Amino acid sequence: MSKEGKADSSVSWQSIRDTMMARIRAQDYAPGELIPNEVDLAAEFGCARATVNRALRDLATSGFLDRRRKAGTRVREAPRRKATLAIPLTRADVIASGARYEYRLLERKLDTPPPLVREHLKLSGSERLLRVQSLHLADDVPHMFEDRWIVLDTVPDIEDVDLTETSANEWLVRQAPYTHGTMEFFAETAGARGQHLVCAPDDPVMTMIRVTWLEAAPITLVQQSYSPSHRMRLDL
Amino acid sequence: MSKEGKADSSVSWQSIRDTMMARIRAQDYAPGELIPNEVDLAAEFGCARATVNRALRDLATSGFLDRRRKAGTRVREAPRRKATLAIPLTRADVIASGARYEYRLLERKLDTPPPLVREHLKLSGSERLLRVQSLHLADDVPHMFEDRWIVLDTVPDIEDVDLTETSANEWLVRQAPYTHGTMEFFAETAGARGQHLVCAPDDPVMTMIRVTWLEAAPITLVQQSYSPSHRMRLDL
């Protein structure tokens, strides 16, 4: 044990985090309550203030504490625990599942997008976009059907890419980093996509629509529909 | 402009982050490539090493850099941009959408879970769990049907809670913080739940199964099925 007020470099931030977490769990600090300030905690634990700071930052990142400059640090009423969902490189995901990955370009053409796609991409004119439809397979079984619109004004280089070899997904993830975007997930019937996903038109499939941006310029809108048996898994 | 090698406190970590991001975008640092070390970058930018460190940490959190102790910092081949998905407090989500929230307890009883639920919760015995079925509404319209199994050995206090007033979702989020968990999303037909969600049994719905743990002890398995019109939205 260190003497109070004397910083003990043997105290790890992890041990402080664990102690603070135990107190939050036990409601020694109640939900919504202000916890002691870093200086007082450093004195209590006999460590540097930076060590306490590191521990509290970790608990804030994990969603248990709400840290506000000046207003202090409070225990969150409802912890905002987060799951992370990376933009998938479909190839990497399929391979990670232990299956053999195959990609098939179904169609590639310049086309005028329907109003809903224009609206999502905030396009006012009627410019033509590159439309790419493709199928991604796992062990020869259809895994995901992709219908993508690419804004050539934003990523002109993709016009010269051979998309029979490299998927647009892969090329864009590597070559056209986005600044922000949105994703929507929902259930719908397979409809005509059942022909590619080898299921009945009435079968329920999970569809994701993702729109990405480079600052104010739209990059791409992609609609991916997964095979009916697909489950999207996330760790908390 | 600062003199090279002399730390200039007017250089912000944000400006360094932006410069480094621009270099990654322009592929001045190619995908997979090792970037210069912090000492060299600090000399180049004429700032403290801590400022460079803060900028690189931010780019690592955003998924553009891969930082490894000793092995150095590399540009990620495929940026792992992450969307965050907090465990939703359904009430808060509905209210945030501008709708009026209502919760209805449909059934509460002690019951023996089916094999699949036991398997997910890694229960070997045939102990009875608390089963809670409920409906969450937005502006009087069914929004989500919830079928939950709660392990009383892990959270015994919930037996005394009046679940007609407080949803199990809400009580558990506040009172039983978990250490880890998993989520699965998939599409399926509504089946008998159509009766609660006011849709046809054949309608496609998005279902989420979430299992949470307190260390090695299972807390709850919940299956939530959303109204067919629901879209789960995430920001990237």
CATH number, domain containing residue B112: 3.40.1410.10
User: Does B210 fall in a domain?
Assistant: yes
Mark which residues 85-124 of B lie under 8 Å from A by CB: 85-87, 89, 92
* A196 within some domain: yes
What count of CB pairs under 8 Å joins A to B? 138
Look at chain A and count its residues.
236
With beta carbons under 8 A apart, name residues in chain B contacting A86. 63, 80-83
Are residues A63 and A98 located together in one domain of the fold?
no
Q: How many residues are recorded in chain B?
A: 236
pLDDT at residue A140 above 70?
yes
Rounded alpha-carbon distances, angstroms, from residue A45 to A16, A29, A73, B50: 8, 16, 17, 25
Chain B contact set for A65 (CB, 8 A): none
B71 and B100 share one domain: no
Q: Last residue of a domain, which of B44, B75, B106? A: B75
A132, A113 in Cβ contact below 8 A?
A: no
Cβ within 8 Å, pair B236-A182 = yes
The angle subtended at Cα B50 by Cα B44 and Cα B56, nearest 5°, is: 75
Q: Verify that A39 and A99 share a domain, yes or no.
A: no
CB contact under 8 A, B233 and A183: yes
Q: CATH number of the domain at A67, please.
A: 1.10.10.10
Query: Cβ separation of B236 and A178 shorter than 8 Å?
Result: yes
Q: From residue B35, give the alpha-carbon distance in Å to each of A18, B8, B80, B90, B152.
A: 34, 22, 18, 44, 52
Decide if A195 touches B, using CB distance below 8 A: no
CB atoms within 10 A of CB A90: 22
Dist. CA A48–CA A39, nearest whole Å: 9
Band of the pLDDT at B7, cuts 50, 70, 90?
Answer: low
Q: Note whether B72 and B33 are within 8 A (CB).
A: no
Residue B140 placed within a domain: yes
Nearest CA in chain A to B202: A202
Please indicate whether, in this complex, the C-beta atoms of B87 and A77 are within 8 angstroms of each other. Answer: no
Per-residue pLDDT, averaged over A138-149, amounts to 95
CB B17 within 8 A of CB B59: yes
Where is average pLDDT lowest: A31-45, A88-102, A149-163, B56-70? A88-102
What's chain A's average pLDDT? Answer: 87
The answer to whether B51 faces chain A, any CB pair under 8 Å, is: no
For residue A221, what pLDDT is reported?
A: 97
Apex CA B29: angle with CA B23 and CA B33, to 5°?
150
Asked if the structure places residue B19 within a domain, the reply is yes
Residue to substitute from B116, B169, B185, interface A, most A β-carbons within 10 A: B185
In this complex, which of B31, B212, B228 lies closest to A236 when CB atoms are compared? B212
Please state the rounded mean pLDDT for residues B178-185. Answer: 87
The last residue of one of the domains, among B75, B100, B118, is B75
Pull the structure tokens for residue B131. 């089963």
Residue A165 has pLDDT above 60, yes or no: yes
Confidence grade of residue A136 (pLDDT, cut at 50, 70, 90): very high
Query: Six-digit token pair at A82?
Result: 């987060």
Handedness of CA A167, A173, A177, A183 (dihedral sign): positive
Task: Chain B: give the shortest CA distance to residue A109, in Å.
Answer: 26
Cβ count within 10 A of residue B52: 25
Q: Is residue A7 part of a domain?
A: no
**Are B122 and B188 members of one domain?**
yes
Q: Within this chain, do residues B66 and B96 fall inside the same structural domain, yes or no?
A: no
Nearest CB neighbour to B187, from listed A89, A183, A205: A205
Tens digits of residue pLDDT in A48-98: 999 999 999 888 877 788 888 778 899 887 666 565 665 566 777 787 778
Q: How close A7 comes to chain B (CA, Å)?
A: 22
Is A201 an 8 Å CB contact of chain B?
Answer: no
- Residue B1 domain-assigned (yes or no): no
Does residue A50 belong to the interface with chain B, where contact is any CB pair within 8 Å?
A: no
Closest listed residue to residue B53, CA positions, set B70, B35, B34, B39: B39
Domain shared by B98 and B187, yes or no: yes
Mean pLDDT, chain B, rounded, equals: 87
| Average pLDDT score over residue span B217-235 | 92
| Residue where the block lists tokens 């991604």 | A136
Contacts of A96 (CB under 8 A, 6+ apart): none
Does B126 contact A at CB distance below 8 Å?
Answer: no
Residue in A closest to B183 by C-alpha: A234
Instruction: Decide: B172 and B214 in contact? Cβ < 8 Å.
Output: no
Residues A60 and A121 in one domain: no
Decide if A38 is inside a domain.
yes
The total domain count for chain B is 2
B145 lies in some domain:
yes
Token pair 């009883």 is found at: B109
Query: What is the four-CA torsion angle of B3, B7, B13, B19, rounded to 10 degrees?
Result: 30
Query: A45 with A141, same domain?
Result: no
Here the tokens at position A189 are: 């019937």
Alpha-carbon span A121 to A118, nearest angstrom? 5
CB contact under 8 A, B206 and A184: no
Q: Which of B75, B101, B117 is the last residue of a domain?
A: B75
A70, A94: one domain: no
Range of the domain at B50: 13-75
Whether B94 and B202 share a structural domain = yes
- Min distance A174 CA to chain B CA atoms (Å): 5
Nearest chain A residue to B213, by CA:
A236
Q: What is the pLDDT of residue B4?
A: 45
Q: A19-39: per-residue pLDDT in tens?
A: 998 888 777 888 788 999 999
Interface of A with B in 140-169 (CB under 8 A): none
Greater model confidence, B162 or A176: B162
Rounded to a whole number, what is the distance in Å from the CA of A233 to chain B's nearest CA?
5
Note whether A47 and A156 are same-domain residues: no
pLDDT confidence bin for B1, thresholds 50/70/90 = very low
Are residue B29 and residue B125 in the same domain, yes or no?
no
Interface test with A, best of B87, B143, B154, B205 (most A CBs within 10 A): B87
What distance in Å separates the CA atoms of residue B234 and residue B198, rounded to the nearest whole number? 26
* CA A214 to each of CA A153, A222, B128, B180: distance values in angstroms, whole numbers, following the listed order: 11, 15, 53, 34
Question: Which residues of chain A from 13 to 32 reach within 8 Å of chain B, CB to CB?
Answer: 24-25, 31
